[in-house]
């Protein structure tokens, strides 16, 4: 449920109640005899609840004038199986107040793609009815076999509701000091799925829901630090990840965290996303390593078994996105699921390896090796379109994505003159992901006794690294090309993508210092983080989606890459600026992205207009930043956990409790003494050895 600060849903906006990619409620407003209420204050009280404090303006009724601020209205909402709503109105004046409380509601049942695009075409019929016996307003939508229903059910109100002029009306007569209360529910019926509770069921479900949230908090890693910004950002991010867990029916299943997968973000991406879900799973290893398993399972189930140009699908490919709205139902869009992602397949292998290294569970490999081998086959057969040994992508679907890396907007990949690159593209980070995936799978094959397969992947990875550094390096720019275009010419735009190459370890060490030097120059490094595109580029726009904005997850991945190559000072600078930026947003919650404006003494971070917030890999970015600062590396199969901590000048101390590695739980303390970082570890459970080891580019080589 997305409302304005008043708790209302304005007409023809992006606000509303959403489920299964459909907007069930598109307009909601509360009036006193036709007058709007005045907001005093409002806030979420948890990710599933909110409270709104309002008062009246002057209301001129037939019974006399109600003076401003005489009436107090408090709206409480809690989302569980349905959305519970309680409205309490108190008369604080010295005389009685008689007026009509009116609630206006409309439902457009728009597909979420159309809501975001502000382009809505109704294909079916909407009907509305008031059921006096059941005290409920029903809005229904039907387009052939696609049917949706919104129900506003009055549970408790005296006097009761009447329907008048398309609004629910309650005739209130409040003595001085008296209060009136309305209890209601927003209920949704989405085809065979229903978000409905019985009168006593919602409360019971809500208690289970709160218990699930409490369990998530109890099982997640805890952080303490004298640095308030880091402390607040970490805790908000843990809460956001808890809010973004997906399950078919979480309240009727075992509450094991292993069964959860992350939604990509609210409000636009409340679904499994291949790339986002896998990266979020890897980020959250520090918080709860089992969180990634839901992504591995669901994406493994969705792995393509066919060639389908409309879906950009090939056998073995990992899905990008799946949707359940009207457009998907009638195959008007390819997200059923859609496979237009060139990186999710290699990221699946990286995520599987990372989960194994943190959990140490050999059964995990047995379960997902068949999926992994199909991923490897896709990389060889379909990821390399023209057989030159590099990973490319090319849109086949007329309704697919032109760009299929993490920067997937149409104008994200540009030549140095600002013109858009069309056709086949071999992005630099795709080569790094495959290089990393091959190294990690080589380690997995060795662990299961398949030494020949392991040696083959190691040789392929080394060959790819050599060719990459030869073909992608631009000597005049002292930087790596963003991509090779369809004619295998370098696209020499200065972009952040190569920071992911540092993360993967594919960059030769003699090139790494030059890359890092560039990334830390003012045209890249804004003071709020590293921009996605250099400010010197003709296509630079700090308020764009991918051409100059700042993405927290991008910076977290780059920070890990900086750590691998020994650039600890730069890690501290990136982490400091992302942490500082978070402190400017409400609740220290990082949005999906924000503007790439330069920081000065008067500036502050500016959120992107349509940013998801909360957003999964934005929330997870702080965990990558901490892993980079502390140099955390798990190797549970061998019973070892490595640290390589270098606390920056602005972070004097840090303690992580309940860090789960294999069957052990660690408490890790880090502090500065005479400008040197000291550390200590306590271990609970099975014995695991904690040791200091430098992170290097060839961690998995």
pLDDT, one tens digit per residue, over 592-647 is 999 999 999 899 999 999 899 999 999 999 999 999 999 999 999 999 999 999 99
- What per-residue confidence (pLDDT) applies to 526? 97
Gyration radius from the chain CA atoms: 27
* CA 47 to chain centroid: 14
DSSP letter string over 522-559?
A: TTTB-SSSB-SB-TTSTT--TTSSSSS-B-HHHHHHHH
Let me know: does 89 contact 7? Beta carbons within 8 Å: no
Residue corresponding to tokens 């959860």: 260
Q: CA-to-CA distance for 90 and 98, rounded, in angstroms?
A: 12
How big is the CA angle at 419 (ends 535 and 507), to the nearest 5 degrees?
Answer: 60
Instruction: Give percent above pLDDT 90 in the chain.
Output: 87
Q: CA-to-CA distance for 486 and 483, rounded, in angstroms?
A: 10
Average pLDDT score over residue span 248-271: 68
Average pLDDT score over residue span 358-375: 96
Closest by CA to 99, choosing from 32, 160, 185, 199, is 32
- What per-residue confidence (pLDDT) applies to 198? 66
Average pLDDT score over residue span 25-44: 96
Let me know: does 85 contact 183? Beta carbons within 8 Å: yes
Q: What does each C-alpha distance from 578 to 91, 547, 587, 694 come to in angstroms? A: 46, 18, 14, 24
Q: Confidence band (pLDDT; 50, 70, 90) for 253? A: very low
Strand partners, 55: 38, 72
**pLDDT at 251 exceeding the cut of 70:** no
Cite the DSSP H helix spans in 360-401.
362-378
User: To which H or E segment does residue 611 belong?
Assistant: none
The residues near 489 (Cβ < 8 Å, ≥ 6 apart) are none
Let me know: does 683 contact 662? Beta carbons within 8 Å: no
- What per-residue confidence (pLDDT) applies to 88? 98
Let me know: does 282 contact 269? Beta carbons within 8 Å: no
Neighbours of 337 (CB within 10 A): 22
User: Over the stretch 190-244, which tens digit does the pLDDT of each residue have?
Assistant: 988 788 876 666 677 778 878 888 888 899 999 999 999 999 999 999 999 999 9
User: Over the stretch 403-448, which tens digit does the pLDDT of each residue have?
Assistant: 999 999 999 999 999 999 999 999 999 999 999 999 999 999 999 9
**pLDDT at 252 exceeding the cut of 80:** no
* CA 219 to chain centroid: 20
b (16+ CB within 10 A) / e for 533-568? bbbebebbbbbbbbbbbbbbbbbbbbbbbbbbbbbb
User: Which tokens is 55 given?
Assistant: 């008062």
Domains and CATH numbers, the chain: 17-207 (no CATH), 220-634 (1.50.10.10), 635-692 (2.60.420)
- What per-residue confidence (pLDDT) applies to 254? 45
Instruction: Give percent above pLDDT 70 in the chain.
Output: 97
Average pLDDT score over residue span 18-43: 96
User: Which tokens is 569 given?
Assistant: 């000072």
Residue corresponding to tokens 């290893």: 285
Entry field: residues in the chain: 701
- What per-residue confidence (pLDDT) applies to 214? 87
User: Which tokens is 51 given?
Assistant: 């409270």
- What per-residue confidence (pLDDT) applies to 199? 63
Closest by CA to 302, choosing from 288, 289, 319, is 319
- What per-residue confidence (pLDDT) applies to 205? 76
The sheet that has 676-685: what strands, in order across it?
222-224, 653-661, 664-673, 676-685
User: Over the stretch 446-498, which tens digit does the pLDDT of each residue have?
Assistant: 999 999 999 999 999 999 999 999 999 999 999 999 999 999 999 999 999 99
The residues near 242 (Cβ < 8 Å, ≥ 6 apart) are 47, 213, 216, 217, 220
Q: What does each C-alpha distance from 49 to 2, 45, 83, 86, 660 come to in angstroms? A: 12, 5, 9, 11, 30
Average pLDDT score over residue span 361-385: 96
User: Which tokens is 463 given?
Assistant: 């060959």
Q: Confidence band (pLDDT; 50, 70, 90) for 256? A: very low
Q: CA-to-CA distance for 269 and 280, rounded, in angstroms?
A: 14
Q: CA-to-CA distance for 461 and 440, rounded, in angstroms?
A: 10
């Amino acid at each position: 449920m997305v409302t304005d600060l008043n708790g209302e849903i304005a007409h023809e906006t992006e606000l509303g109640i959403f489920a299964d990619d459909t907007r069930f409620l598109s307009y909601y407003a509360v009036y006193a005899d036709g007058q709007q209420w005045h907001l005093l204050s409002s806030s979420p009280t948890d990710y599933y609840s909110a409270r709104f404090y309002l008062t009246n303006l002057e209301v001129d009724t037939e019974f006399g004038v109600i003076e401003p601020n005489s009436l107090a209205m408090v709206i409480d909402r809690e989302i569980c199986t349905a959305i519970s709503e309680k409205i309490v109105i108190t008369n604080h004046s010295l005389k009685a107040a008689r007026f009509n409380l009116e609630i206006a509601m409309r439902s457009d049942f728009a597909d979420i793609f159309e809501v975001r695009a502000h382009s809505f075409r109704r294909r079916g019929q909407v009907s509305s009815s008031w059921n006096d016996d059941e005290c409920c307003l029903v809005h229904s939508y039907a387009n052939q076999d696609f049917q949706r229903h919104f129900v506003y059910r009055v549970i408790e109100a005296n006097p009761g509701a009447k329907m008048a002029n398309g609004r629910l009306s309650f005739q209130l007569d409040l003595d001085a000091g008296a209060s009136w209360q309305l209890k209601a529910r927003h209920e949704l019926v989405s085809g065979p799925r229903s978000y409905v509770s019985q009168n006593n069921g919602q409360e019971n479900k809500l208690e289970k829901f709160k218990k699930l949230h409490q369990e998530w908090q109890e099982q997640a890693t805890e952080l303490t630090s004298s640095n308030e910004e880091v402390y607040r950002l970490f805790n908000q991010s843990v809460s956001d990840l808890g809010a973004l867990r997906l399950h078919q029916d979480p309240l009727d299943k075992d509450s094991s965290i292993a069964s959860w997968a992350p939604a990509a973000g609210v409000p636009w991406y409340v679904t499994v996303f291949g790339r986002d879900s896998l990266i979020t799973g890897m980020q959250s290893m520090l918080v709860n390593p089992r969180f990634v398993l839901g992504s591995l399972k669901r994406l493994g189930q969705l792995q393509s078994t066919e060639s389908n140009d409309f879906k950009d699908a090939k056998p073995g490919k990992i899905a990008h996105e799946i949707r359940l709205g009207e457009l998907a139902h009638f195959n008007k869009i390819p997200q059923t699921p859609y496979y237009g992602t060139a990186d999710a397949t290699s990221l699946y292998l990286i995520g599987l390896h990372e989960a194994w290294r943190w959990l140490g569970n050999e059964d995990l490999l047995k379960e997902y090796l068949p999926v992994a081998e199909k991923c490897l086959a896709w990389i060889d057969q379909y990821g390399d379109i023209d057989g030159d040994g590099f990973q490319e992508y090319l849109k086949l679907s007329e309704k697919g994505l032109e760009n299929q890396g993490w920067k997937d907007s149409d104008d994200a990949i540009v030549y140095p003159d600002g013109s858009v690159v069309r056709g086949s593209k071999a992005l630099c980070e795709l080569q790094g992901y495959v290089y990393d995936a091959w190294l990690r799978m080589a380690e997995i094959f060795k662990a299961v006794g398949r030494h020949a397969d392991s040696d083959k992947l190691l040789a392929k990875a080394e060959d790819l690294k050599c060719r990459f550094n030869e073909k992608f390096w631009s000597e005049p720019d002292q930087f790596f090309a963003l991509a090779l275009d369809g004619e295998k010419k370098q696209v020499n735009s200065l972009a952040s993508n190569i920071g992911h190459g540092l993360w993967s370890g594919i960059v030769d060490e003699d090139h790494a210092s030059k890359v890092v030097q560039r990334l830390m120059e003012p045209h890249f490094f804004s003071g709020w983080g590293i921009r996605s595109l250099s400010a010197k580029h003709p296509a630079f726009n700090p308020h764009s989606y991918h051409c100059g904005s700042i993405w927290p997850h991008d910076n977290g991945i780059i920070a890990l890459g900086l750590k691998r190559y020994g650039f600890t000072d730069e890690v501290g600078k990136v982490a400091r600026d992302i942490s500082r930026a978070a402190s400017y947003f409400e609740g220290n919650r990082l949005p999906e992205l924000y503007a790439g404006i330069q920081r000065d003494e008067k500036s502050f971070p500016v959120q992107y207009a349509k940013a998801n917030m909360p957003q999964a890999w934005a929330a997870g970015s702080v965990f990558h930043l901490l892993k980079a600062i502390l140099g955390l590396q798990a190797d549970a199969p061998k019973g070892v956990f490595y640290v390589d901590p270098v606390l920056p000048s602005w972070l004097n101390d840090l303690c992580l409790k309940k860090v789960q590695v294999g069957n052990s739980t660690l408490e890790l303390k880090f502090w500065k003494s005479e400008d040197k970082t000291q550390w200590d570890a306590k271990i609970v459970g099975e014995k695991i050895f904690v040791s200091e080891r430098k992170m290097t580019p060839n961690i998995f080589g």
